[in-house]
Chain A
Amino acid sequence: MKSDPLICFEDVKKVYGSGPIRVDALANINLRIVHGEFIAILGPSGSGKSTLMNIIGCLDRPTTGRYLLENVDVSGLSDEALAHIRNKKIGFVFQMFNLLRKQTALENVQLPLLYSGVDQKARREKGLLVLKKMGLEGRWNHRPNELSGGECQRVAIARALITDPPILLADEPTGNLDTKTGIDILSLFKTLNREEGVTLILVTHNPEIAKEARRRIYIQDGKIVEDTGGGEP
């Protein structure tokens, strides 16, 4: 099971528009990611790394090619099915935190469980547990505007982890944080990867952060130009 790839891209292409305004965001990407990896995806803006991440995160579909997630071809699935996969298999962490402003930390953290149909009591228990793991047990009743940036990002990570997804996708997770807090968040990610075996895919353009990852994938003009440190973790 461990040696089966978690994520497998076979000739994945993503094209936006057509004719003169046609943009090849991704060109023939082949990629294998196994369970437990810690990967940094690097590249300048416009390189296609966001597109890659959106496809990995099942927010988008490849134009051609196949994307196997845990050996299931998800490239042709319906919106409904993709929503369920996002809910169960993928935890998102964003640069802008993307928390619901009017809801408390706990309510934000519980959100994915709401869409998996978990009842309120179980949601609350699980939410408090994950918040505690993030060191936020005393802050569950605070709204995002009452929390620091680092705390917000921890809430976001707690939300990403609440459904115990195999994949954690983070898009510039430290981009909006000061250096020290950024380092804290990064070490939190590393701990999660090491101790919980969560597959961590981190999109960044910061080489300092990318250095922490075991495997680095460089993207330019929609192509993988370098893939270092790969192999079984």
Chain B
Amino acid sequence: MKLIEFIRMALASILDNRLRSFLTMLGIMIGVGAVILLISMTTGFREYLVRQFMGIGTNLIIVNPGKTETKGLGHPGFEGVQKMTIGDTIALRRNATALEGVSSITVGTADVRYVNRERRVMIVGTDEVFVKIISIGVDSGGFFTSEDVDASRRVCTIGYTVKNELFGGKNPLGEIIKIGGSGFRVIGIMEKKGTFMGTDDFDDVVYIPVPAAQTLFNTDRLIGIRAKARSAAMIDEAKEQIRVILKKRHNNKEDFTILTQGSLLSSLDSILNALSAVLAGIAAISLLVGGIGIMNIMLVTVKERTREIGIRKAVGATKRDILLQFLLESMILSLMGGVVGILIAFTGGVVLSRFLPQMPPLMEPWVIALATLFSGGVGIFFGVYPAYRAAHQDPIEALRYE
């Protein structure tokens, strides 16, 4: 009963000094607002990346030459590493029962020419299994077959951008394009896929059979192998099979790295977690600064209201009553700042999602709950000392205070 009355008193006092209360809240408001907005942006960014990762295909396993000790994203170097070849792909196809498909990948860039138009694009040398593993479809024509690959035929399937740039409105199917000087017949056009993580344009690519690509780049290496597990439950088993098979072929050395979408996500998460830790640090600092502002104003308030405290004590307010009154006032002040901060972050998120429609900021309920809790907590923490001072005023002195 008293508590409700004290809350009413605190609100009345906050409203009595509107400007001052607003300025006091400002620190908490800006701090909470900025941090929540940043956290929401991080969350939105993560969602976007997850969508992108999952969009490449399901149960995907990436095998790259070279060993990275951790689950890092970085591409390993080639030194001291036995090369990865088509033979590895074949061995995996033959022996890894947990795999649904295995595909070789080799990549390079080359000038692609059609009549008088030329363009430097990414050349992906792969095989027929590629389109079964990666979720990318053929728009018209077809992808090359296993016969094309085995016979190292000079055929290609081109990306949407390549088609537009080289052929314009003309139908490219059956036409011959020159890749690095050699003629390749266009047998298919890939679906428009868009960019991935804002970098590689999946549409600015020409796919050719992997042996043809190796000839073109004068190498017998693969830059990696892409495989697909039969099911999500079999991913771990598949990884183990790949490890055993490849190790056996590579003189018992584990000179390759096996990545899954899960491991990519977890390394992404470790980066984002580091970012979150930084944000938490900023949040802590801004709450500290805001809290000090509140303490400062509460000390002024207590001083100003010395006589009021004296009056209240004379008519029977206990130390506890006075303590509670001022503690509630600083808590409500801080809480209001936090709530307004949340609203600011929400508004900012709505505005930002117009500019970043692909990765709109995502405000999770736990963030709101935590922000509310913390801003209230800051009010209590920094309100304790001023409230203690108020509660311990000598009533006689306080009544005499001018």
Binding site for B on A (CB under 8 A): 54, 57, 59-60, 79-80, 83-84, 86-88, 92, 94, 98-100, 102, 111-112, 114-117, 119-120, 159, 163
Given contacts A100-B308, A102-B16, A114-B2, A92 and B319 within 8 Å (CB-CB): no
Interface residues on B, range: 20 to 34
A110 to B308, CA, bound (A): 15
Given contacts A100-B311, A102-B16, A59 and B320 within 8 Å (CB-CB): no
Report chain B residues within 8 Å CB of A87.
315-316
Query: What would be 23 A-B contacts, judged by CB atoms less than 8 Å apart?
Result: A59-B314, A59-B396, A59-B399, A60-B396, A83-B313, A83-B317, A83-B319, A83-B321, A84-B318, A86-B316, A87-B315, A88-B316, A94-B399, A98-B310, A98-B314, A100-B308, A100-B311, A102-B12, A102-B16, A115-B315, A117-B2, A119-B1, A120-B5
A186 to B389, CA, bound (A): 37
Contact B399 A115 (CB under 8 A): no
Q: Is B239 an interface residue (CB 8 A)?
A: no
Known: A87-B316, A115-B321. 7 other contacts (CB 8 A): A59-B396, A83-B313, A86-B316, A98-B307, A111-B312, A115-B312, A116-B316
Q: Closest Cβ of chain B: how far from A160's Cβ, in Å?
A: 8
Main secondary structure of the interface of B (DSSP, over half): helix
- Write the B243-255 contact mask toward A (1 if CB under 8 angstroms, else 0): 0000000000000
Contact B315 A86 (CB under 8 A): yes
Q: Which residue of A lies closest to B9 (CB)?
A: A114
A66 to B310, CA, bound (A): 25
A94 to B398, CA, bound (A): 13
Report chain A residues within 8 Å CB of B312.
111, 115
Contact B1 A112 (CB under 8 A): no
Q: Is B395 an interface residue (CB 8 A)?
A: yes
Q: Closest Cβ of chain A: how far from B169's Cβ, in Å?
A: 79
A207 to B26, CA, bound (A): 57
Report chain A residues within 8 Å CB of B314.
57, 59, 86, 92, 98
Binding site for A on B (CB under 8 A): 1-2, 5, 12, 16, 307-308, 310-321, 395-396, 399
A225 to B370, CA, bound (A): 67
A117 to B6, CA, bound (A): 12
Q: Which residue of B lies closest to A86 (CB)?
A: B316
Given contacts A100-B311, A102-B16, A115 and B396 within 8 Å (CB-CB): no
Report chain A residues within 8 Å CB of B310.
98
A88 to B316, CA, bound (A): 8
Contact A114 B5 (CB under 8 A): yes
Which of A83, A84, A87, A159: most chain B CB closer than 10 A?
Answer: A83
Report chain A residues within 8 Å CB of B320.
80
Q: Closest Cβ of chain A: how far from B234's Cβ, in Å?
A: 68
Partner of B315, one of A54, A102, A111, A117: A111
Given contacts A102-B16, A114-B2, A79 and B318 within 8 Å (CB-CB): yes
Report chain A residues within 8 Å CB of B316.
83-84, 86-88, 112, 115-116, 163
Report chain B residues within 8 Å CB of A98.
307, 310-311, 314, 399
Report chain B residues within 8 Å CB of A120.
5
Partner of A54, one of B318, B319, B396: B396
Q: Closest Cβ of chain B: how far from A66's Cβ, in Å?
A: 21
A114 to B346, CA, bound (A): 40
Q: Closest Cβ of chain B: how far from A85's Cβ, in Å?
A: 8
Given contacts A59-B395, A59-B396, A102-B16, A115 and B307 within 8 Å (CB-CB): no
A159 to B320, CA, bound (A): 22
Report chain A residues within 8 Å CB of B318.
79-80, 83-84, 115
Contact A112 B395 (CB under 8 A): no
Report chain A residues within 8 Å CB of B5.
114, 120
